[in-house]
Structure 1
Amino acid sequence: MSSDALIADQTDHPGEPVAVTAAGAIPWRAGKDGLEVLLIHRPRYDDWSWPKGKIDAGETVPECAVREVWEEIGLRAPLGIPLPPIHYHVASGLKVVHYWAVKVNGDSLVPDGKEVDSVMWCAPDKAARLLSNPSDVAPLESLRDAHERGELDTWPLLVLRHAKAKPRSSWSKAEGERPLAATGSRQAQAVGRLLQAWKPMRIVSSPWLRCVATVAPYARATGAKVKLAEGLTEHKHQRTPKKTAAVIESLVDKQRPVVVCTHRPALPTVLKQLATHMPSHLVQLLPAHEPFLSPGELVVCHLANSGKKRVVAVEQFKPFDD
C-alpha cells in the first residue's frame, strides 16, 4: 500500500489541521466518442490517479496545480472550473488535494517518465473503475456532471483589485499618478505568477498608475494585450457607476478570457454586474462586505462557452504573501 493510500473516510474532518496541501487537475477532452478524461500511472506506487503534487514554498494552490500538470504530463493549459477537493490521511496527518478541470485541445502529452510512466484516455465510467484511490472519484463525478449540464467548457473573467499603493495621506500629486508601495510592487510580481494559472491574454485596466503597475509584470511575462478603460477609475465610478458596469457587461459579451484591474470603490458595482449572470448560490460566494477584496486579491468567474453569458463557478484567491 502506498504512503498516500486512503485510510480515512471521505467526509470532511472538522477541526483537524491539514498536514499536507497538494493540487492537481483532471485533463479532459470531448470527441466523437464523448467525454474522455486522462489517467496517469505512477510507477512508484503502481497506481492510477490524476496529475497532482504537493505545494511548493512560495506557491498558491492554483500555481501548484498548473506546475504539477506541466511537470507530470508536459501540458501547459489554463485551469478550468474548480472541482471538489479530496481529504485523506497520510503518515504526517490529513492531506487535502485541490482539483480543477483542464481542457486538452489536441496538445501532445509527454509523461516525465520518472513519476509518470504512462497515460490513458478513457471514458469517465472506466476511469472510476481504474482509479486506485476511491476518493479520486468525487472530482471525476463533479466533472462529468458539469459536462452533462453544459458547464464544463468555460472561459474565465477575473476581477483584480490593484496591489497596495502608497497612502493617500503621503501623496500630494494627482490621484491617478499615486504609485504602488514597495509591498505593492512585490504583490504585483506575485499577481503576475498567479494569473498564469488562467493565462488570460487580454487585460482591461483602470488607466491609473497603481492599476497599470499591478498588471504590468503579468503583461510583460505573457505578452497579454492591455486596454485602458476610464470607466474603471475611482472618479468615473463615483460620477457614473453605470459606465463601470457597462465595461464589465461588454467584456461578458465578448466571451474571451480577460482580467479586469480596478479600485476598491468600484468593486461593488463590478461584482453586482457579474451577479446578474449567475444563480443565487454563486452570488453568495462573491465578496459582499468592505473592502470586498484585499490589495492584489482576485475573483475568478468561469462562464460557460454556450453563448448564454452564464457564470457557472466562482473562486477567490490572494497572491502569495511574502
Structure 2
Amino acid sequence: MTDLHAALGADVLAAGTVLWRGEHVALVHRPRYDDWSLPKGKLERGESLAACAIRETREETGLRARLGRRIGDVRYTVPEGRKLVRYWAAEALEEVDFVPNDEVDELRWVSPTEAARLVTYPHDAQVLDRFTPPSTVLLVVRHAKAGSRNNWDGDDDLRPLSGDGRHQAEHLVGFLGLFGPERFHSATPVRCVDTLAPAAGAAPILPEPLLGEEGYWADPAAGRDRFRALLATPGVTALCSQGGVIPDVVAELLEESGARPTGVPCPVEKPVPSKKAGTWVLTTGPDGGLRSADYYPTPG
C-alpha cells in the first residue's frame, strides 16, 4: 500500500470523470460487466489521481479532455478491499467518431438527467447529481522555490528560481496540462514568470503588476478587481502570483461565496494554504460567482 492509499484509507484507488460537451455528458457501456457507467479506471504506479482520470477517459472514450472542478469521491467494497474513486468534471476537447475498444463497446451522449437514469450504479447517479459544468476556470499557482532572499543582493523582483524551483516548474507542465489552460498571466517578479514558462511553452505570458505583492498591497481593491476579471474570463486561464497575495484573494472569495474547498482542512485554516508551486483551481457558475475551489499541493 502506498502513502496515498494509506492517506485516503483505500486498498484500491481509481479516478474518473463526468465528461461533458455542450449540454450532454458521456456514458460508456462495458461488455465485461454489461453496465453503463462514467469513464473511470484504476490508478497506475506513480500516477496522480488527476492524471489517472484523464488517461482513463481517453482510453475508454478515445477523447482528449481537460479537467475542471473536483466533484468528489465514491467509496465501496470490492474483492480486493476498500475502493475509492475520485471524480472530476472534464470537458471534451474534440468531436470524433467513437471506436469500440477492449473495455468499452458503446458511448452515449445524453443529458445529465437522462444519464442519472441510465447508469447501472446508484453511486454514479449521485456523482451526476453533483455535476455542473464550469463557466470559467482559473488556475492560481504560487511561484516555485526561489533562491534565498538573504543571499540575493539585487532587485528582489529579479531573484530567480532555485534548482529545486526549476524542477517544480517542470513538474507543473504535466499538472497544468491536465486542465488545458488557454492563456497565461503572471505577476512581474522573474520567479513568477519563470514558474509558468515551461508550461506556457511558446504562448505569451501576460504581465499582471497588480497581482504581485508590491502592486497588490499598494492598492488591494484594484488587485482584487483584477483577480476577479481573470476569474471571469471565459475558458481556462493560468495565473502565477505570490504567497502574500493568493491567500488573501482566495479567502475573500471563499467567504463571500460559501464554497466548500477541497484539498484543505475544513473549516479552512488561515492563512489559506498556498505552498510553493501549489495550485488553486477555481471555477465559476453561470452567475459568475465562485462555484468551487480545489487545492493541489506542489506536484512531483
Match of 1:217 among 185, 188, 198: 198
Cα 1:264–1:153, aligned 2, differ >3 Å: closer, same or farther? closer
Change (3 A) 1:315 1:112: farther
Which residue of 2 is the match for residue 74 of structure 1?
A: 62
- Indicate whether 1:266 and 2:266 are aligned: no
For 1:128 and 1:237, how far apart are their aligned partners in 2?
Answer: 45
Amino acid at match of 2:206: K
CA offset digits 1:83-138 (Å, max 9, x no partner):
23211122332111111223447612534611222212334455344433332221
User: Unmatched 5+ residue regions in structure 2?
Assistant: 1-6
1:64 and 2:52 aligned: yes
Q: What is the alpha-carbon distance in structure 2 between the residues aligned to residue 27 and residue 82 of structure 1?
A: 12
Looking at structure 1, the residues matched to 220 and 142 of structure 2 have their Cα atoms a distance apart, in angstroms, of: 17
Match of 2:17 among 13, 18, 25: 25
Partner of 1:247: 226
User: Are positions 1:280 and 2:258 aligned together?
Assistant: yes
Whole-Å separation in 1 of the counterparts to 2:114 and 2:247: 45
Task: Pick which of 35-44 and 92-101 moved more.
Answer: 35-44
* Structure 2 residue identity aligned to 1:181: S
Aligned-residue CA RMSD (Å): 2.7
Amino acid at match of 1:178: R
| 1:281 Cα offset (Å) | 4.0
Q: TM-score, normalised by structure 2?
A: 0.85
Instruction: Give me the whole-angstrom Cα distance separating, in 2, the residues matched to 1:67 and 1:312.
Output: 25
Task: Give the Cα separation in 1 of the matches to 2:272 and 2:291.
Answer: 24
TM-aligned CA distance change 1:155 to 1:166, over 3 Å: same
Q: What's 2:143 paired with?
A: 162
Residues 1:111 and 1:282: Cα distance change in structure 2 (over 3 Å): same
Q: Give the letter for the 1:63 counterpart.
A: A
Relative distance call for 1:103 and 1:235 in structure 2 (3 A) is closer
User: Of 126, 145, 153, which aligns to 1:172?
Assistant: 153
Note if contact 1:41-1:117 (Cα within 8 Å) is conserved in structure 2.
yes
Find the aligned partners of 1:38 and 1:142 in 2 and give their Cα distance.
Answer: 15
For residues 254 and 125 of structure 1, do their structure 2 counterparts lie closer, same or farther at Cα, with a shift above 3 Å needed?
Answer: closer
> How far off is 1:209 after superposition?
1.5
Asked if 1 retains the 8 angstrom alpha-carbon contact of 2:278 and 2:298, the reply is yes
Shift of the alpha carbon at 1:40?
0.9
Does the Cα contact within 8 Å between 2:64 and 2:94 map onto a contact in 1? no
Aligned partner (choices 165, 176, 187) of residue 184 of structure 1: 165
C-alpha distance after superposition, 1:156-207 (max 9, x if no partner): 0121111111222222222112121222112112212111122121111012
What 5-or-longer segments of structure 1 have no aligned partner? 1-14, 147-151
Q: Please say which of residues 254-263 and 196-205 is displaced more in the overlay.
A: 254-263
Q: Which amino acid aligns with 2:39?
A: P
Q: 1:201 aligns with which of 182, 201, 212?
A: 182
- After TM superposition, give the deviation of residue 24 of structure 1 in Å: 1.0
Partner of 2:108: 120
Equivalent position of 2:30 in the other structure:
42
**In 2, Cα distance between the equivalents of 1:26 and 1:249?**
27
**Further displaced range: 192-201 or 266-275:** 266-275
TM-score by length of 1: 0.80
CA contact (8 A) 1:245 1:273 kept: no
- State how far apart, in whole Å, the 2-side matches of 1:158 and 1:286 are: 22
Aligned partners of 2:195, 2:165: CA distance in 1, in Å? 8
Alignment: residue pair count? 291
Give how far 1:319 is off: 4.0
Whether 2:205 is the aligned partner of 1:226: answer: yes
2:283 to 283, 286, 302: 302
Identity of aligned residues (%): 32
Instruction: Kindly state the Cα deviation for residue 26 of structure 1 after the two structures are TM-superposed.
Output: 1.7
Asked if structure 2 preserves the Cα contact closer than 8 Å seen for 1:60 and 1:319, the reply is no
Match of 2:11, SS?
Answer: strand
